Amino acid sequence: MGTLDRLLRDRLAPAFAAVAGRPADPSLRRSQHADFQADGALALARALGRNPRDIAAEVVQRARLADLCKTVEIAGAGFINLTVADDAVAALLADMGRDERLGVKAAEVPETVVIDYSAPNVAKEMHVGHLPSTVIGDAAARLLDWLGHRVVKANHLGDWGTPFGMLIEHLLDIGEAEAAHELSLGDLNAFYRAARSKFDADEAFKERARNRVVALQGGDERTIRLWRLLVDESEKYFLAVYERLDVCLTEKDFFGESFYNDMLVPVVGELDRLGLLRESDGAQVVFPAGFTNRDGNPLPLIVRKSDGGFGYGATDLAAIRYRTRELHATRLLYVIGLPQRQHLEMVFEVAREAGWLSPPARAQHVGFGSVLGPDGKIFRSRSGETVKLADLVDEAVARATTLIEEKNPDLDEATKANVARMVGVGAIKYADLSSDRTRDHVFDWARMLSFDGNTAPYLQYARARILSIFRRGGVTPVRDLARITVTEPAERALAIELLAFEGVVTEVAESLDFHKLAGYLHQVATAFTAFYENCPVLRAEGEVRESRLALSDLTARVLGRGLGLLGIGAPDRM
RNA sequence: GCGCUCGUAGCUCAGUGGAUAGAGCAGGGGUCUUCUAAGCCCAGGGUCGCAGGUUCGAAUCCUGCCGAGCGCACCA
């Protein structure tokens, strides 16, 4: 879990091993009966043929805990209840306070991590469906970067394929200048729909579009230039949305499908040489082990379609091969919706069989559920269309502005605008990050913008309140106290919570279950408000005042850093 | 049919095989001459979908049902 947790575990583990005669899990966890409890003795009872309380007693006798624990008691069937010594808490907190990184060390062995996320389609609007991928991927990028890994953000832009025939022809119809104008306004859907409806209605147009696809794939110079125009304008628009969303994707992070075009022939060739390639119904496919279709027959991953074109399977394989071979990535993250699970698993399996994804390199599908509307169905606007991401951000900021005007009319315009942006955007992001990403979740303005509960505004407010204490008192908390003493129960509870930060961050870096970090931050904020209610800070004196200021400061920093890792800003006043 | 993700308070969600299953919202009752009441406190509210099994101990692991959503070859 964290610094304190790990220390206790390190002391208990050898004692358990000595008693069991082999390594045994102390099974340490937070407890309602003490600060921590170790339940390992119960699990060992049967294997050792001994009474669990006797085992616990022997463990307690062998474990070196005197300097860390005030009391160590055996309770119930054989639980070891540990109450941490105030001195130990004081010293650990002081260490944490001095540390710019709040006790979280940078990775000893930095990995190259490629994070595949966001992935909008050229000439198509970004909508709510892109939100989870963009938000979760961005949090992953920030977290892993902070932990010292080399992060490659791969925005797998949909910039290639048959739709570009009709898009380019439509562009020619309306003229380059007009097209650039429409696209730069962000009216991507109108552009796409216009092209689509002509394609569906007009045979001549359809024919032109088809020929244009051939020209595009053949590398025709003029066609490529027009295609590039579409891509460039769309990228500009996406970057504007990212900017508004406070997402750290930049123009350097676009690795669209077309990026892998030159690798497709070699990839398929290599699959062939490896003996993995099969022909099936005119298409070239690979049958990865362990996948069957509805008839129980082997399920193919199509790499080359019967018309000679490459399928997305080929692109995905080329991307893996490029990422492991050229970028030397050892961790590949795919922040993509759960429905694509099977496809990804198949791609991973083929990549493994081809030797492009072998240990220590590993691929991880960071899947997520759907965003639902109040009716429990896929979130759409009232008119039944998908909701533009840009509009969503506008509405969030507008709603946040109204709230702030109500609650703190004294803020000046500039501060208000800044706060509204952080609160509005933070609320949207936090909604995607605070619940188990594998489950669908309901999009609810009222709940995500509430100042109560597990929401971004609540955490932002908790932090702003702390900074307000410092402003009010005209103090700057010192960060190099020799000890941060805690005595009151509410202080202890907050302190122990703060010491768990490192463990939560470490765990989430692996699992990418950001709701655990979110839940942790909410617990910290809750623990702080209890502390704040019960323990005067500015009105305290001497060492107690210094310690409480330091504790408050540490809380603000944990909240600020935690929110920052989630990609959420925190205003100093609100 | 096979596979994946699920089923926990009225609602939205937590819950690493451990002691009495927790938050928030909504509803009820309190609480500001005192560091931001945008807060806090108290009480109520549960056959953890159902049935078996493993275990000293199961919301958690296994099996089978029921129910929901998604996927299962040339769109990504």
Residues A261 and A132 in one domain: yes
Residues A150 and A275 in one domain: yes
Last residue of one domain, picked from the residues A192, A225, A248: A248
The burial of A105, by beta-carbon neighbours within 10 Å (0-12 exposed, 13-18 middle, 19 or more buried), is given as exposed
Q: pLDDT band at residue A30, thresholds of 50, 70 and 90?
A: confident
Q: Label residue A118 left, alpha or beta by phi (over 0 means left) and psi (-120 to 50 means alpha).
A: left
Last residue of one domain, picked from the residues A229, A248, A267: A248
Q: Which nucleotide is nearest to A297 (CA to C1')?
A: B2
Residues A335 and A243 in one domain: no
Written as one string, the DSSP assignment of A524-550 is HHHHHHHHHHHS-STT--HHHHHHHHH
Q: pLDDT band at residue A163, thresholds of 50, 70 and 90?
A: confident
Q: Domain with A143 in it: what CATH number?
A: 3.40.50.620
Residues A146 and A264 in one domain: yes
Cα distance between the two ends of chain A: 32
Residue A221 within any structural domain of the chain = yes
pLDDT value at A112 more than 90: yes
Residue A437 within any structural domain of the chain = no
Residue A378 within any structural domain of the chain = no
pLDDT value at position A2? 52
- Rounded to whole angstroms, the Cα distance separating A96 from A501 reads 10
Residues A132 and A80 in one domain: no
> CA–C1' distance A371–B22 (Å)?
25
Residue A70 within any structural domain of the chain = yes
> CA–C1' distance A64–B70 (Å)?
52
Residue A36 within any structural domain of the chain = yes
Mean pLDDT of A359-370: 90
> Residue A270 has which token pair?
């290599």
Instruction: Please answer whether residues A102 and A557 qualify as being in contact, where contact means their C-beta atoms are separated by less than 8 angstroms.
Output: yes
Q: pLDDT band at residue A270, thresholds of 50, 70 and 90?
A: very high
Q: Domain with A70 in it: what CATH number?
A: 3.30.1360.70
Residue A521 within any structural domain of the chain = no
pLDDT value at A324 more than 50: yes
Q: Which nucleotide is nearest to A5 (CA to C1')?
A: B16
pLDDT value at position A350? 93
Write down the mean pLDDT value for chain A.
89
Q: How many domains does chain A have?
A: 3
Tell me which residue of A532, A455, A536 sits closest to A494, measured CA to CA: A532
- Rounded to whole angstroms, the Cα distance separating A371 from A433 reads 12
- Rounded to whole angstroms, the Cα distance separating A371 from A516 reads 19
Mean pLDDT of A289-313: 85
Q: Which nucleotide is nearest to A341 (CA to C1')?
A: B4
- Tens of pLDDT, residue by residue over A486-543, are 888 888 889 999 999 998 999 899 899 999 999 999 999 999 988 988 888 988 888 8
- Rounded to whole angstroms, the Cα distance separating A28 from A363 reads 30
Last residue of one domain, picked from the residues A338, A365, A392: A365
pLDDT value at position A406? 80
Residue A103 within any structural domain of the chain = no
Q: Are strands A112-116 and A331-334 parallel, antiparallel or unpaired?
A: parallel
- Tens of pLDDT, residue by residue over A165-183, are 999 999 998 888 888 888 7
Under 8 Å CB-to-CB from A225, ≥6 apart: which residues? none
User: Which whole-number Å values give the CA distances from A56 to A63, A82, A83, A153, in the listed order?
Assistant: 10, 12, 16, 49
Residues A204 and A293 in one domain: no
Q: Which nucleotide is nearest to A278 (CA to C1')?
A: B73
> Residue A131 has which token pair?
């939100």
For A278, the domain range is 112-158+257-365
What's the sign of the alpha-carbon dihedral A208, A209, A214, A215?
positive
pLDDT value at position A311? 85
Report ipTM (2 d.p.): 0.91
- Tens of pLDDT, residue by residue over A209-236, are 888 988 898 889 989 999 998 899 889 9
Residues A200 and A323 in one domain: no
Residues A144 and A286 in one domain: yes
> CA–C1' distance A376–B10 (Å)?
17
Residues A154 and A264 in one domain: yes
Enumerate the β-bridge partners of residue A69. A84
> Residue A448 has which token pair?
């995500």
Residues A303 and A350 in one domain: yes
Strand B: which positions are within 7 A of a protein CB? Answer: 1-6, 12-19, 23-26, 34-41, 55-57, 69-76
> CA–C1' distance A316–B75 (Å)?
14
Residues A142 and A271 in one domain: yes
Residues A182 and A323 in one domain: no
pLDDT value at A382 more than 70: no
Q: pLDDT band at residue A384, thresholds of 50, 70 and 90?
A: low
Residue A426 within any structural domain of the chain = no
pLDDT value at A371 more than 90: no
**Among A298-307, A367-376, A526-535, where is mean pLDDT lowest?**
A367-376
- Rounded to whole angstroms, the Cα distance separating A410 from A417 reads 13
pLDDT value at A383 more than 70: no
pLDDT value at position A1? 40
- The proportion of chain A whose per-residue pLDDT surpasses 90, expressed as a percent, equals 49
> CA–C1' distance A353–B73 (Å)?
20
Count CB neighbours of A33 within 10 A: 13
> Residue A512 has which token pair?
């990418």
